[in-house]
Amino acid sequence: MRATVERSHLLKSLGHVHRVVERRNTIPILSNVLMRGEGGQLMLKATDLDLEVTEAVPAEIGQGGATTVPAHILYDIVRKLPDGAEVSLDTGEGAQLTVKAGRSRFTLQILPESDFPDLTTGEFQTRFTVPANVIRKLIERTQFAISTEETRYYLNGIYLHIVTVAGKPMLRAVATDGHRLAQAQVEAPEGAEKMAGIILPRKAVGEIQKLVEDPDAPVTVEVSDTKIRFTIGAVVLTSKLIDGTFPDYARVIPQGNDKVLKVDRGEFAGAVDRVSTISSERGRAVKLALSDGRMVLSVNNPDSGSATEEIGVDYPADAIEIGFNAKYLLDVAAQLETGTAEFRFADPGSPTLIQDAETPNALYVLMPMRV
């Protein structure tokens, strides 16, 4: 293979694909990026066996062919080359790839293209196209609640499924780690109405979030029983789905919580952030004491001290004292969009519902902590 590529094109694409490659690999070929030159473009591809990203860049192909080289090394080389450089890639006859740009010259060990694993996809039953922004919002609002617990692998992703709300099919995203749950939904795009529920793994979620740059660019989503594919311009991301059953989350979303609190989001987040300074250790609770018109936030840490802050709120219901993990409160506060957050409590031992007063399509559930 012999190809010449503009450095900025190559850098951008390598930037997209090389992230998929794990830094430490026991299988050498998985450290490599596949490059195939044909028909005026250079196709790059990287995989970790669960996730695969390919991208094509315009190139001058002297001689067609394909090879694989260590992804992170190639990325670092291209990154350090001067802006505007022309990069030539040549496998020649030998077992090495020669990378040349200006006066720099590198040779890299190659592995045969035939060893490179392929994430065979089979047939996609569902296909729909949405603006990148829609995908981004669904992910943003739920990503923080994805569990990292290995034991419950079926929580290590976002559950995407179709529900019918008021007669309308909606595409809903849900994530939970058992302590908090985030749910966001949009009107189901055309073609998605029949999609079966899928669990999109955390790593794929993170990569997609980084790949969508232009909010209005169309993203095509294709889904099969075991795989999902996102096509964003010249980039194609294919991921395995998590093979598991997402829990019946609807049962834990409180319906009858009648103690309603309305609070200014910014003021609340600021207060939580300040009092939680005292709770150095993970898992310490912020206590919210609510009574008519006011909320007292407090943290008591026997090792370091205590903190209290009072804010004025709209709370007409019976007084209640309830504790939450400070980080979880901040995570939720960061997702709310409008100025006013709405909390619905039942009692100090039951899940609390948090919503954005004017954004009915997203909701959050937090499990209280004993205080």
Partner 1 sequence: MSLAINGGDMKALCRDCGRPAASATPRCAACGSPRLAAHPELGTLAVAHLDCDAFYAAIEKRDDPSLADKPVIVGGGKRGVVATACYIARIRGVRSAMPMFKALEACPDAVVIRPNMEKYAAVGREVRQMMLALTPLVEPLSIDEAFMDLAGTERLHGAPPAVSLARLAARIEKEIGITVSIGLSFNKFLAKIASDLEKPRGFSVIGRAEALTFLAEKPVGLIWGVGKAMQARLAADGIRLIGTLQRMDEATLARRYGSMGLRLARLSRADDRRPVEPRGETKSISAETTFDADIADLHQLLSVLRSLAEKVSRRLKKADMAGRTVTLKLKTADFRIRTRSRQLADPTRLADRIHAVGAEMLARETDGTKFRLLGIGVSDFAAPELADPLDLADPDAGRRARAEAAIDAIRGKFGNQAVELGLVFDRPARPKR
Query: Contact between 369 and partner 1 (CB under 8 A)?
Result: yes
Which region, judged by CB under 8 A, interacts with partner 1, from 18-26, 133-141, 177-185, 331-339? 177-185
Q: Which residue of 31, 47, 156, 176 would you call a contact of partner 1, by CB under 8 A?
A: 176
Give the shortest CB-146-to-partner 1 separation in angstroms.
Answer: 11
Give the separation between CA 71 and CA 249, rounded to whole angstroms: 40
| 368: number of Cβ within 10 Å | 22
Report DSSP letters for 170-234, one per residue.
EEEEEEE-SSEEEEEEEEPPTT-TTPPPEEEEHHHHHHHHHH--STTSEEEEEE-SSEEEEEETT
Binders in 244-263 for partner 1, by CB under 8 A: 247-249, 251-252
Total of chain residues touching partner 1, rule CB under 8 A: 25
Report DSSP letters for 71-102, one per residue.
HHHHHHHHHHSPTT-EEEEE--SSSEEEEEET
Residue 212 Cα distances to 241, 328, 366, angstroms: 20, 26, 29
CB nearer to partner 1: give 23 or 370: 370
Q: Which residue of 136, 152, 161, 203 would you call a contact of partner 1, by CB under 8 A?
A: 152
Query: Contact between 275 and partner 1 (CB under 8 A)?
Result: no
CB nearer to partner 1: give 136 or 152: 152
Give the separation between CA 357 and CA 314, rounded to whole angstroms: 13
Query: Contact between 155 and partner 1 (CB under 8 A)?
Result: yes
Which region, judged by CB under 8 A, interacts with partner 1, from 15-23, 68-76, 334-342, 363-371? 363-371
Judged by DSSP in three states, 61 sits in: strand
Binders in 310-349 for partner 1, by CB under 8 A: 349
Q: Which residue of 52, 113, 177, 342 would you call a contact of partner 1, by CB under 8 A?
A: 177
Counting every residue, how long is the chain? Answer: 371
Whether 353 contacts 344, CB under 8 Å: yes
Which residues are at the interface with partner 1 (CB under 8 A)?
Answer: 147-152, 155, 176-181, 247-249, 251-252, 283, 349, 351, 365, 367, 369-370
